[in-house]
Amino acid sequence: MYTPVMSIASLAEGESTLVRVGGVEIVLCHVDGQFYAVNARCSHAQQSLAAGRLRGYYLTCPLHGARFDIRTGACAAAPATQPIARYPVLVEGGKVCIQV
């Protein structure tokens, strides 16, 4: 089941924001006209990625600099070695919806 979290106009291209779906904290990113949703906790030190820097398809943890690919959740730079969860996103009726 997909849960609507915000209107598509609420998140500018190249930006990210923290949303909550069913008690799960998620970073929602808008890149190249697509929306991506990943778990908001770094797999290395459980630091929140909400304040992380989004550059292209990569979200960088503000604590130690671990980097994750928002398209897959894969770890792209140490010190993290494990991926983060990625959640399916659907845009419907002008709303961004996430499935957890």
Distance CA(2)–CA(100), nearest Å, equals 8
Closest CA to 19 of 1, 35, 8, 5: 5
The pLDDT of residue 51: 95
Under the banding of pLDDT at 50, 70 and 90, the label for residue 100 is very high
CATH dotted code for 2-99: 2.102.10.10
pTM: 0.96
Average pLDDT, the chain: 97
The pLDDT of residue 73: 98
What does the DSSP assignment read for 18-36?
EEEETTEEEEEEEETTEEE
Under the banding of pLDDT at 50, 70 and 90, the label for residue 70 is very high
Give residue limits of the domains in the chain.
2-99
- Quick one: average pLDDT of 72-99? 97
pLDDT in tens, 22-68: 999 999 999 999 999 999 999 999 999 999 999 999 999 999 999 99
